[in-house]
Every structure is written in structure tokens, then in C-alpha cells.
Structure 1
Amino acid sequence: LGNTLFRLSYVDIPDGPYMWPASVLNALRRDAVTALETALITHHVESWQALQVTGDVDYDFKVQHELSYDTCPMISARVDEIEGVKAAISGGAQKIVFGGDRLSRIPYALSIYDEVARLCAQSDVICTFATPRVVKDDEVEAYKHTLEAIVQAHPDSISIHVPQALLWLRELGYTGAIEADTGLNIFNTPTLHFWEQLHISCVNPSQELTLKQITELAKHSHVPIETMIHGYTEMMISEYCAIASFVGTGSKVNCPMPCVKESYSLKDRKGEIFPIRTDPYCRMHIMNSHEMDMRAYVPMLLQKGISILRVDGRHMKPSYVKDIVSQYVGIATGTMEAPPKKIDSQGESITRGHYFRGIL
């Protein structure tokens, strides 16, 4: 069925001396797809209207407790390993964002969430657990076991990347704080206000926004704005795995998981190297070839109304996480001078993301 949403299950053609012109078949296909789309949309609208009539759906039920950010501005760290958590806390991070898209093929043991929550509580650090940016329909039930472990660990908040996570959390009886992360692609004020009506505690808008656009968003926000300021941004998430195709079996089925033994990258026609990482769902994450570094602009970012500056340490060694976090803490608190606005101290090229070069 081409690029439609549907897949042909079977064809039933009656026996007989019939001829089926291509034009008739194409018309049948178009009519069928249109009818199916209409039926799906109608069913969706009627289902939600029925829920609203019975009172089962309202905006207030989503978040019953909000998280108060009294110590902003602050430095947060997104990590996906216990050692990264310890390093970020040691470096002075006031908020830990853990989980979600783990850049490792090996899944977590569910007990890890209790351990992370305990480490954060011992250091009086905000503990935020994240959901993945992609959860397919056939993965939802399996993922709910992870989400249940997250809820039972009693974090300070849960950061969501997909709207459906609100319903999953409701089913699990979660009543704590919820934060809106980059996967929700919050790009403008109306979208920001929509999520604010759901009583979210923090917003991490689209990474494609410029500093000017983020500043405008911050002016109209009633909750803290958090943005990534250091680390390797994800360029793409793909079900296709280049590693399996070239050094594996050519398929994800019975793959020997070479990704857990060696590191792999893609090289483009300009010679740029893009690291590849895989996650527990066997998806490929293509990382930026250059590390984002906004240390030189920390004073400006804080002045523009960005309350929480996030270091993405998932691609870093623990020692580097500690060092980078401590530098941002020092610059933000005024105990360290910001570096010049050019190449970093090691002489390697860096990127400023979309802060000064947007897509619009």
C-alpha cells in the first residue's frame, strides 16, 4: 500500500473470467485507505469525547504534585550509568536525569532505579528518571515493567519524551512531578502553555530552537526552562542498524552484538566521524561528530532566562563528567571565569548546536 499507514493483509478475488484494470485497483486502494483513515480518526475522537463526558479525563489528574525548583539556576547532568551518577554528583550537579535512551545495548537491572534514587537522596540532589524517546506499540507492555520500577523508586520527578507516558503513569498510580523533555518537541508558546496546563514542573524545549527563540519562550514560561549545553547531541535514532549490517549477521535476528565489544562510527564524504551507539531496544543512535560546548556562554544563557543547564554525560567517561560539571557549576556560581568564545582549551573543534544557527 505504498507510503500509507496500512499493510495489506490478504486479497480475496472471486473466481471467474474477470479482468481487473490497474485504474480500478488503484481506485479501490485509494478509497480503502481513505475509509480506513476516516474510521480510525472517528473512533479516536469518539473515544476521547466519551471519556470526557464520563469525567475520566481532565487536565488536572495528570500531575498532582509539582516539583519546586527553589535553587535555580542550577546545573543538571544526564547520565545512564551508576558511575556517571556518582561523578556528576561529585562534580556539583544539583539534578540528575537518569535512564531513558541508554546508549548501551545491555538493558538495566530494574534495581538500578532504587540505587540511583538513593544516591541522589543522600547528596540532596534532585532525582529525575526519563522515559525513552521511542516506545513502539509492541514494546509498551514490556516497558511498563521498567516504568513500574521507576515509580516504585520514588524519584523527585519523571521526565517524559512521549505524550502516552502520561497515561502509562496514571495506570501505575503515579502522582508525582512530571517534566516535559525534548522528545515532546516544544517549539513555541502555545505548545508550552498546553503542557503548563497539565501542571508539568519543568520544560526542556526542542533542541532545534535558537537562543533567541528560547529566550522568547522563557519570557512566557511559568516553569523553569532546561536546555542541553554540553555533550554529544543525537542526530538520528533508527531501527536500521549499520553495525549489524556490516559487521554482524546482516540482521538483528540472532545478532552476536558486536556493538558491546567494539566502538563504531560513520564517516561522511567530508571525513567527519559520527559515533554510533545502540540502546537496549537494538536501535541505532547516530551522535554528532562534534561535542557541544557552551561554557563560554553560560553568563548569557542565565541572563536570557534559562534556569537549568544540562550536561549530557552519556557519551563521556566518569572522570570527564565530573570535570565538565564542576566547570559549569563554577562558571554559573561565579567562582570560575568563562572561557573565550572560540575553540576549546584542547584545540578541538566544537559545536554550539542550534543556539546561533536555527532551522527557521
Structure 2
Amino acid sequence: MSAQGSDFKFSRNIQKFEWENRRPRLKKDFDYSTLNIPRINLRLSSIGQINEIKKFCAKLGFNPIYSIEYGEILNTADLSKSSFNEIITKVKKFCFNYGIKLQLSTPRILIERDFDRVYEYVKNLCLTEPVPSSIIINNIGYLWAFINDDELHRIPVEIGQGINLLNSMSIKCLNNLHPIDTVDFSTFEKSINIKNCIKKIKNLIPNRKLTIAGNIRVPSLGLCPLNNDSAIVSRLSCKAPCHNGNYALKDPSLKKVLPFVVDGFCRMHMFQDYILHMYEYVPKLEQIGINEFVIDLSDLPPKYVSILLTHFLNTLAGFEKPCKDTINEYCIQELG
């Protein structure tokens, strides 16, 4: 955890965590449907966020969302009430009714015990109407199983953040195995690298995504730290504290807090402790070839759907100036 490699017990360094962000308002006398809205993608994890989209669209008067990513991280409280299949079926019906493309996302970490079961669940969902618009693959073994399954060849493939493709040759390699519809460039550290890579694959890969708002992932691998070691051995003995709000790990040596969320496999996903806002850079990113813009809400409460979408639309309309503390993610200012 620490850069110095110091050991510490999770139980002493876990704290409740509340995200902070000012709540903007939509302008009552402005018609947002007149805006030239780029493709907005929401990366979601809970049914509560889906319900918040319904409220936001009703208030706005139309749906501004192009696509939704769903499936990699599922809210554990939702899973305590409904099965994986039931949750995804609800999301599929919602997307169909609202004219939103559903990009069904698969786990980044799949151990041998879970692989076949998860693959069959997702396959059945891909073959059942309404079918998802694409499948996001975050695991190289999953990709290999998918491209060797003749029944799934009609489903477009996206390479997600779980597979690090940091150069054009890696992308061309996978595209040579099976046509790739979309690549998520959010794992690239610098925008100049994104620009140079897109130049070489633009004619091969029609869709190029980038996270421009919301959560920023921290590379991590581990089980849920909310219970003591003996409870982790058996999921049946877990009291599911992950149902009761947001948590973060505190690294005393770095004086840094890292919020985390737990998925249905009891695996931990960590994030930076701030919310990304890069709406003002959308025109520059469009110029270098990005054509789908991700708002990551993986570890954010449902109310942040409206908050971040309102920030995006108000910035697009010229009602909001760039934040003074905007994080220079991807070193985007190097684009000039």
C-alpha cells in the first residue's frame, strides 16, 4: 500500500468516506436540446443510478446519454436483493426504453473457479432480447473465449480498461484476431500518446473512448478489506458491511485516502479521492479522435449522475467556467 512498503493492518486504516462536490443547477430558461452534445457514456454500478437517470431525463425533457457501461462492478446491496441476470435484464429494458446503447461490461479479474459460470451468464444475456449494443472485455482470457465462440460473433467488441493497450501495435494485434469496435484509452497516461496512437488506428477502430469525469481508478488487486481475515475465507460468514455506505483506505505514511468499492466477487476496486472534471477539454479531445466521453460513477452515490451531467451540459452551454483546481489528467495541456 505504502510507497515505502510499510505494513499495516487494514482494520486500523479503514474509514467512512463521503464524496464532496458542489451541486449545480440546470438553467430554467435555456433549451439544452439545442446543444451539440457529444456522445456521453455513463459507467454505472447500481440500480439507484439508473433511477437517477430517469429523474434527470424527466427534468431535462430529453435524454442526453448515448451509452451506458454496466456489469463489471455491481453494487453488492443490489446483488443481495436480485441476481446478476435479473439486474442486467432490468438495465437492458431501461436502455431499450430510453434509446440508450447498453455496453455490457465483463470482470477484469476472473479466477478459474468463476470463469465458466460468468462466461455463460454473460453469453445468455448477449443472446437474449433486447441484446446489448456491445460487450466490453477486460480480461484477455475472456477475449480468447469470446472470439472462439461462433454464437457471439455478431456482438461488437470493446477493449476496456482491464486490458492495457498502450500502443497501436497492441491494438492492431487484437484487431487482427477479431474485429474491435471500440477501444477505451483511459489507461493511457498522456494525451499526446493517445493522439499519436489514434493516428495509426483511426481507420481500423471506429470508436475511441476516454474517461473525462467522475472516478479515477487506482490499479489494485485484492479482496474486500472490511472484514477480519477469518470472515473473508467464507462469503457466507460475511455481515456485508459494504452495503452500508462508502469506505476508504488511509495510508498513514503517504497521508493519502483511497476510496474503494467492493464487487459481487468480494474484490476491491480503488479510486483517487477526488472527482475528475475535464468537460472543457472535450473539443480538443474530439480533434485528436476521441468520439465517446465517459463519466465514471463506479464509486459515486446516485445523486452524482445529475450533478456530473449538469456540470457537463452547463460547461457545454458556456454557463460554467473551468474549475481552478482542474486536474491535468492525461497531461492534456501539452496538446496546446
Q: TM-score, normalised by structure 1?
A: 0.69
Sort the Cα spacing of 1:304 and 1:338 in 2 relative to 1 into closer, same or farther, 3 A: farther
Instruction: Identify the match of residue 213 of structure 1 among 189, 193, 196.
Output: 193
Structure 2 residue corresponding to 1:258, chosen from 214, 226, 241: 241
- Report the Cα distance in structure 2 between the residues aligned to 1:240 and 1:166, rounded to whole angstroms: 24
2:115 is aligned with 1:140: yes
Q: Does 1:176 align with 2:155?
A: yes
CA 1:320 to 1:105, structure 2 compared with 1: closer, same or farther past 3 Å? closer
1:184–1:206 CA contact under 8 A, matched in 2:
no
Aligned to 1:243: 226
Structure 1's unaligned 5+ residue stretches are 1-70, 344-349
C-alpha displacement of 1:141: 2.1
Once residues 128 and 233 of structure 1 are traced to their aligned partners in structure 2, the CA distance between those partners, rounded to angstroms, is: 19
Counterpart for residue 312 of structure 1: 296
Counterpart secondary structure, 1:100 = coil
TM-score norm. by structure 2 comes to 0.73
- Report the CA distance shift for 1:241/1:115 in structure 2 as closer, same or farther (over 3 A): closer
Aligned-partner residue type, residue 79 of structure 1: L
Match runs of 1:88-107 below 5 Å:
88=53, 90=57, 92-104=64-76, 107=79
Paired residues, what number? 278
Residue 214 of structure 1: how far off its partner (Å): 0.8
Unpaired segments ≥5 residues, structure 2: 1-35, 58-62
Residue 131 of structure 2 is aligned to residue 166 of structure 1 = no
Q: Displacement, 1:142?
A: 2.2
1:110-136 deviations in whole A, cap 9, x for unaligned?
122222222212222211110011111
Distance 1:357 1:193 in 2: 28
Cα offset, 1:322, TM superposition: 2.3
Query: What SS does structure 1 have at the residue aligned with 2:266?
Result: coil
Closer, same or farther in 2 for the Cα pair 1:132/1:352, shift >3 Å? farther
Contact 1:226/1:306, CA 8 A, preserved across alignment? yes
- The one of 14, 31, 46 equivalent to 1:81 is 46
1:7-57 C-alpha deviation (Å, 9 max, x unpaired): xxxxxxxxxxxxxxxxxxxxxxxxxxxxxxxxxxxxxxxxxxxxxxxxxxx
Structure 1 residues 95 and 106: CA distance shift in structure 2, 3 A: closer
For the structure 1 residues 144 and 201, does the alpha-carbon distance in structure 2 shift closer, same or farther, using more than 3 Å as the test?
A: same
Write the letter of the residue equivalent to 1:131: T
Equivalent position to 2:87, from 105, 112, 130:
112
Alpha-carbon distance between aligned partners in 1 of 2:175 and 2:223, rounded to the nearest angstrom: 36
Give, in whole Å, the separation in 2 of the partners of 1:215 and 1:338. 27
- Indicate if the aligned counterparts of 1:72 and 1:307 stay in contact, CA closer than 8 A: no
Identity among equivalent positions (%) equals 20
Q: 1:86/1:258 Cα in 2 relative to 1: closer, same or farther (>3 Å)? A: closer
Q: Give 1:185 deviation, angstroms.
A: 0.7
| 2:186–2:209 Cα contact (<8 Å) kept | no
Moved more, 105-114 or 289-298: 105-114
**Per-residue Cα deviation, 1:180-229 (whole angstroms, up to 9, x for no partner):** 11111111011122233321111102524311111112222222210111
C-alpha RMSD over aligned residues: 2.7
Structure-1 separation of matches of 2:333 and 2:269: 23
2:133 is equivalent to residue 156 of structure 1:
yes
Following TM superposition, by how much is the alpha carbon of 1:172 offset from its aligned partner in structure 2, in angstroms?
7.5
Give the ranges of 4+ consecutive aligned residues of structure 1 lying more than 6 Å apart after TM superposition: none
- Indicate the residue corresponding to 1:204 in structure 2: 184
- Select the residue among 104, 120, 123 that pairs with 1:129: 104
Q: Give the letter aligned to residue 97 of structure 1.
A: E
> Structure 1, residues 317-341: CA drift from partner, whole Å, max 9, x if none?
333212312432454xx53356225
State the shift of 1:268 in Å. Answer: 2.3
- Contact 2:46–2:78 (CA under 8 A) maintained in structure 1: no
Deviations 1:134-188 (A, max 9, x none): 1111111221242134212411111111122234435482121111111111110
CA distance, structure 2, for counterparts of residue 200 and residue 131 of structure 1: 16
Residue equivalent to 2:211? 228
Q: Distance in 1 between matches of 2:184 and 2:96?
A: 23
Mark the CA change 1:339 to 1:303 in structure 2 (over 3 Å): closer, same or farther.
farther
Cα 1:290–1:323 shift into 2, 3 Å: closer
Is 1:301–2:280 an aligned residue pair?
no
User: 3-state DSSP class of the match of 1:328?
Assistant: helix
Deviation at 1:352, TM superposition (A): 3.7
| Farther off after superposition, 106-115 or 91-100 | 106-115
